[in-house]
Structure formats: C-alpha cells, structure tokens
Amino acid sequence: MSRDLRGCAILDREGSLLAASAEAEGWELTAPAFLIAADAAAGEAVTQVHVGTEDGETFAVRHRGFAIVAASERFALASLMFCDLRAVLRDLVNAPAMAGVAADGAGPRESAG
C-alpha cells in the first residue's frame, strides 16, 4: 500500500466491518456512511470514489460484494491508491478462505459431485 495511507477499513456486502487498520468503532460508522453518501450523489452504487480536502483524501473501491474505504495524506497519487485498493480486494476475494463465498453474497456454494 501507498506510504500516504493513514488507515482503511474493509466492508462486506451489507456494509458490516470485516477489518480495520485502527479502532473499529470509528470505521464501523464512517466507512458505510461514506459509501452511502457517494451512492446518493451519483444516483447509483459507485464502484470507486475519491474525495479530497485540505486535510486529506478519502478513497473507496467496491469489488464483488466487498468494499474498502481508505484515508490518506493530502497529496496521495489517486491512481496508485486505486490500484492498491483494487489489488487488496482482488486478493481478498481470491483467497482460499473465500472460495466458497458466492459473489452475490448468497453464502457458501454447494460443491457439485
């Protein structure tokens, strides 16, 4: 991950916190709220969002039912942050422990045979 990263959180399809780099309580409320606000502004579910202020920047990426929201220093390279965040979610989705989880959030798949 970029050295500009301050912290991040990973959410499941329902917006529940799966992991966070710092105190879960703060991320548990703000990460889903950030995605809800981005969706409302776009009028649809966004796949990525970037908001910058004088104090820092926030990024979010969704992939196959998971989302990651990250806060960074002010002048983080957006392309690098998005690349890193997508890589983290791809690794998560492709992890052996996730092999039985359907992309549609339906839970473990039955194995044929």
Residue 87: beta bridge partners?
none
Strand order in the sheet with 17-20: 17-20, 5-11, 66-72, 57-63, 48-52
Closest CA to 67 of 29, 19, 102, 108: 19
d(CA 100, CA 83): 26
- Position 109 pLDDT exceeds 70: no
Claim: this prediction has a pTM higher than 0.85: no
User: Would you put residue 26 in left (φ > 0), alpha (ψ -120 to 50) or beta?
Assistant: alpha
Tens-digit pLDDT profile for residues 40-83 = 999 999 999 999 999 999 999 999 889 999 999 988 888 888 99
User: DSSP class of residue 26?
Assistant: H
Domains of the chain in start order, with CATH, are 5-96 (3.30.450.30)
